[in-house]
Amino acid sequence: MSAVIALVGRPNTGKSTLFNRLIGKRKAIESNIPGTTRDRLYESFFYAGHKTLLVDTGGIELDNTGDIEADVQEQSKLAIEGADLIFFLVDVKEELTSEDFHAADLLRRSKKPVILIANKCDNPSLGDDRFNLYELGFGEPIAVSALHAGGLDHLEKLTNKELETLGLPADDSENDEFKDHIKIAFLGRPNVGKSTMVNALFGKKRVVVSDVPGTTRDAAEVPFVYDDKDYLLIDTAGVRRRGKIEKGIEKYSILRTMQSISQADVCVLMLDFETGIANQDCHVSQYILEERKGLIIVVNKVDLESGDIRESLTNNFIGKLKHRMAYVPWAPVVFSSAKERKNIFQILNLAAEISNERVKEVSQEDLNVWLDIVLTKHPPRGRKGKREFSVLSVKQIGSGPPSFEFECVWPEIMHFSYARFLENELRSQFGFTGTPVHLKFKKAKFKAIR
């Protein structure tokens, strides 16, 4: 079991900066704008002698004037409930506020162990002004500068002591807790239903849901077990057209989305049944293809239509998909309703299948037989002067995704349609559902004997 540590505090106390500093990479969005972090962010890493799951949360405030802000508070409270240890951050540069005392009250009621962190101690004199923090009731605060990495050794030692007191087992090796999980990234335009889909899979709220486009800013990672298989669901910020992307926070959200594609095994591209296929949907699918990730196309919100109208619109939608995304004919399509939880678990079943297909290996004997049949069925064509294209052999050179190398004579004059033919024949014989197949054409080191 990993030790779960939650970073808690009012907005703009440096929680995301400390989160990034501890995990050693910029994952949480850092900004001077209060309320930047809305969902819980997770990162598994080795810390203080223990396997640790670090959780960043949105700031705790008293004035919750909107639905989104109320949901942020709910997410923070859920993180507190699920944590073994709390890092309570306050800004040493500012006087204590009602939000600080409100957060302290929540933590006392949780009865969880708390380490009080006086953040932003960027120079030694600020650390001397911590006496007023005793009013929060958590003992002596630790002076830390998340920005400049000051005081982190002391924090790590105290964390190790607290975790050992809790009886959590230490580990002397660094492990990726989610290494064997099937990682699924949910992608799509803002307000297409990504967060609603993740919540529907769990049967409860795990990420913030709102009708306001752009609610999700960070990529929220949620571990999950279904049908005895481990999954990591990644709910990402909605991707808009480049011209629609605002400077600042939203720009960095898009970067997190692209990073999520790189980290995922399978990407779920969600489309809106009512609004259809946008150019941006095609751009995202092409990026997924470039990253060579598994792909499932989910058409959400089918509950908005019913009966014969739904069937007619479904057939029409499939026709548009074949036309607009003809470059990914191997991607399975699921028509679903996150709101009514219709066909949602089919996504997980497909993801598990695709995950297996991505690491499938074909024996050399089977490949040799396959190539003989294919070359007889459709001999390679391509001639330029005295040069004539031909295929000599094939072998698998990798997986995740499956990669094959063809040894050829004059591959540079091969027509692009023949590569597509070979891929289609590979899929017809060996499957590779939902995953791209990479073909490499290598020039033979010797000339074929004629």
Alpha-carbon gap, residue 322 to 315, rounded angstroms: 11
Per-residue pLDDT of the chain (450 residues; tens, 9 = 90+): 468 888 888 888 888 889 989 988 776 555 555 544 444 466 777 888 887 878 887 767 655 554 444 555 565 676 677 788 999 999 988 888 888 888 888 889 888 999 999 998 887 655 555 667 888 888 889 999 988 888 999 999 999 999 999 887 666 444 456 778 899 988 888 778 887 887 888 776 554 444 444 444 444 567 778 888 988 887 664 444 444 434 433 333 444 566 577 778 999 999 998 888 988 888 888 888 988 999 999 999 887 666 667 788 888 899 999 999 999 999 999 999 888 888 999 999 999 999 999 999 999 999 999 999 999 999 887 666 667 888 999 999 999 899 999 999 888 888 888 999 999 999 999 999 999 999 999 998 865 444
The model's pTM is 0.58
Instruction: Write out the H or E segment, with its range, that includes residue 392.
Output: strand 390-398
Amino acid, res. 434:
G
CATH 3.30.300.20 positions along the chain are 364-443
Q: Give the class (CATH, top level) of 182-358.
A: alpha beta
Amino acid, res. 445:
K
Alpha-carbon gap, residue 386 to 280, rounded angstroms: 45
What is the structure's pLDDT at 310? 74
Instruction: Write out the H or E segment, with its range, that includes residue 195.
Output: helix 194-202
What is the structure's pLDDT at 236? 64
Alpha-carbon gap, residue 356 to 334, rounded angstroms: 19
Going by C-alpha positions, the residue among 375, 434, 377, 380 that lies closest to residue 402 is 434
Q: Please state the φ and ψ torsions of residue 152, each to the nearest 5 degrees.
A: -75, -30
Q: Output the CA torsion 426→430→433→436 (10° steps).
A: -40
Helices (DSSP H) in 11-66: which residue ranges?
15-23
CATH code of domain 3-165: 3.40.50.300
C-alpha distances (whole Å) from 225 to each of 222, 236, 345 are: 10, 20, 12
What is the structure's pLDDT at 247? 40
Choices 2.40.128.110, 3.30.300.20, 3.40.50.12780, 3.30.450.40: CATH for 364-443: 3.30.300.20
Alpha-carbon gap, residue 430 to 360, rounded angstroms: 9
CATH 3.40.50.300 positions along the chain are 3-165, 182-358
Q: Would you tell me the crossing angle of helices 416-430 and 364-377 to the nearest 10 degrees?
A: 130
Amino acid, res. 123:
N
Q: Please state the φ and ψ torsions of residue 276, each to the nearest 5 degrees.
A: 85, -160
Q: Please state the φ and ψ torsions of residue 32, each to the nearest 5 degrees.
A: -80, -5
